[in-house]
Amino acid sequence: MLCRKSKWMLAACVALALSWLSAVPVAAQTFYICEGSNTTTASQLDFTSGQLNAVSIDSITLSVPARQRYVGGDLSMLIRYEEQKAQFKDAQGNDITDLLNFVREQGWNTVRVRLFVDPSKDSDKAVVQDLDYVKSLGRRIKAAGLLLMLDFHYSDTWADPGKQWTPDSWKTLSDAQLMTQLYDYTKDCLQQLTAAGAAPDFIQTGNEISYGMLWGTQAQAGNNQNNRCYTNSPAVNWTRFFNLLKKAGQACREVCPRAKIIIHSERVPNTGVLTDFYDRLRNASVDYDIIGLSYYPYFHGKLAQLESALKALAGKNYGKPIQIVETGYPWKWAVQGTTVDYTSTYPYSNAGQKQFTADLIDLLKKYPQVNGLSWWYAEANAKGCTGNLNSGWYNASLFDNETGRALDALYQLKAFK
């Protein structure tokens, strides 16, 4: 909401607000010019150039509706796909010249990007997102009128429930030094992103951290079992973990006070472990805003299992919105490691993937606490690739690797809004 106030506030407010206004598409929510009892819709404002085309506004404040929903996907590999000449097309086969603008036109309002400390330590072709990479992609995301969800991995490689390895350059630090390093690193990244025009709107302080983070290095794994956080782990393990989260959160509040902090778990299959995790966060007074979940039906169970998890979280009254920050479903064949066969309901096909997406959205909209949905690795597309991304397809993306065409599920996602 845009409101008239005293003129002396103009210079201070406009600079702050413009970055937000240019980052939030009008289609996602309604803005108003307010003066007394008169209101004018935001259609009179020019958001496309990042300039506020309204001469009589004295100050600006931004208010997001309480029931605003956020929908989009993780596009962390977009730059690499562009470098390798991937051919993105719409469902009719027309060339997509700018994928970010295209997804915004399909109703997306949020894009997620992961960040590694030093991805050069890993040879995985998808572990490439260092700070410079994220600044470049993040700047483009914001310029396209989309919100940016930043996913700190706090590792040189993939961080997930079974791999929370401390970056090599941090491995000799004591716990006290590690707290300081985590704070300094988080703060520096956010400062650099902000200066680059890529300030995040959502920040994950860790990726799938159900069992803690920064355990040590993989080579030291046998000596670092005590850094893991299970339900039966000693209290000192959990205290260490929560202190790390608090230092990361402190940096987020200092640099990006408007951003929403997400704490991310993937324990949908085990609601007892899931609620125990968020109970402990509440009891430890960890500062965060949003419960973030991964939900992959082929790993985590059918939609009924997700609903059980949502009911369990709702029953706890945590007072936090819930977002599905990672999801996906195959369109041609099973994802490697699949443990749940859902093909009797959702065949591996364009139509099956679309129907899964539609039914997932119908389920999520039953729960008012759920305000976010993000498809993981949505941009995977081998069509036309000239490098190492043309093989070993991830087959749960939103593009056909053989034709480059957008699949129907991409268009279906806007129904969540």
Q: pLDDT grade, residue 6 (50/70/90)? A: very low
> What backbone torsions phi and psi does residue 74 show, to the nearest 5 degrees?
-85, 120
Q: Name residue 38's beta-bridge partners.
A: 35
Range from 51-65, 67-81, 302-316 carrying the lowest mean pLDDT: 51-65
Q: Taking every pair of C-alpha atoms in the chain, what is the biggest distance, in angstroms?
A: 67
State yes or no: pLDDT of 319 exceeds 70.
yes
Residue 226: the pLDDT is: 76
pLDDT in tens, 10-43: 333 333 344 444 444 333 333 333 333 333 333 3
pLDDT in tens, 198-222: 999 999 999 999 999 999 977 665 5
> What are 68's two structure tokens?
């605003």
Strand 32-35 with 38-41, pairing:
antiparallel
Kindly give, in sequence order, each residue whose CB lies less than 8 Å from that of residue 194, ignoring residues fewer than 6 positions away: 255, 256
Work out the number of other CB atoms within 10 angstroms of the CB of residue 14. 15
pLDDT, residue 105, reads 97
* pLDDT digits 0-9 by tens, 217-236: 776 655 556 799 999 999 99
Q: What is the pLDDT of residues 128-182, one digit of tens each?
A: 999 999 999 999 999 999 999 999 999 999 999 999 999 999 999 999 999 999 9
Report how far residue 63's alpha carbon sits from residue 257's, in angstroms, rounded to the nearest whole number.
Answer: 15
CB-based burial label for 219 (10 Å; 0-12, 13-18, 19+): exposed
Residue 4 has pLDDT above 80, yes or no: no
- The whole-chain average pLDDT of the chain stands at 87
pLDDT score recorded for residue 217: 75
| pLDDT, position 400 | 97
Higher pLDDT, 68 or 324: 324
**What does the chain come to in residues?**
417
pLDDT band at 67 (very low <50, low <70, confident <90, very high): confident
How confident is the model at residue 287, as a pLDDT?
Answer: 98
From first CA to last CA, the distance across the chain in angstroms is 19
Retrieve residue 28's tokens.
């996602």
105: left (phi over 0), alpha (psi -120 to 50) or beta: alpha
Q: Specify whether the CB–CB gap between 330 and 395 falls below 8 A.
A: yes
pLDDT above 70 (res 413): yes
Structure confidence at residue 64 (pLDDT): 60
180-209 burial: b if 16+ Cβ within 10 Å, else e = ebbbebbbebbeebbebbbbbbbbbbbbbb
Q: What is the pLDDT of residues 376-408, one digit of tens each?
A: 999 999 999 999 999 988 999 999 999 999 999
pLDDT band at 77 (very low <50, low <70, confident <90, very high): very high
Percent with pLDDT over 90 in the chain: 80
Task: Express as a percent the part of the chain with pLDDT over 70.
Answer: 82
Q: How many CA atoms lie within 13 A of 399 on its CB side?
A: 29
**Mean of pLDDT values over 331-358:** 97
Question: Helix/strand/coil (H, E, C) string of the chain?
Answer: CEECCCHHHHHHHHHHHHHHHHHCCHHHCCCEEEECCEEEEHHHCCCCCCCCCCCCCCCCCCCCCCCCCEEEEECCCHHHHHHCCCCCECCCCCECCCHHHHHHHCCCCEEEEEECCCHHHCCCCCCCCCHHHHHHHHHHHHHCCCEEEEEECCCCCCCECCECCCCHHHCCCCHHHHHHHHHHHHHHHHHHHHHCCCCCCEEEECCCCCCCCCCCCHHHHHHCHHHCCCCCCCHHHHHHHHHHHHHHHHHHHHHCCCCEEEEEECCCCCHHHHHHHHHHHHHCCCCCCEEEEEECHHHHCCHHHHHHHHHHHHHHCCCCCEEEEEECCCCCCCCCCCCCCCCCCCCCCHHHHHHHHHHHHHHHCCCCCEEEEEECCCCCCCCCCCCHHHCCCCCCCCECCCCCEECHHHHHHHHHC
* 273 pLDDT higher than 60: yes
Residue among 20, 25, 19 at smallest CA distance from 144: 25
pLDDT band at 54 (very low <50, low <70, confident <90, very high): very low
Q: Which residue has the tokens 């679309």?
A: 354
Q: Give the position of tokens 């009128």.
A: 145
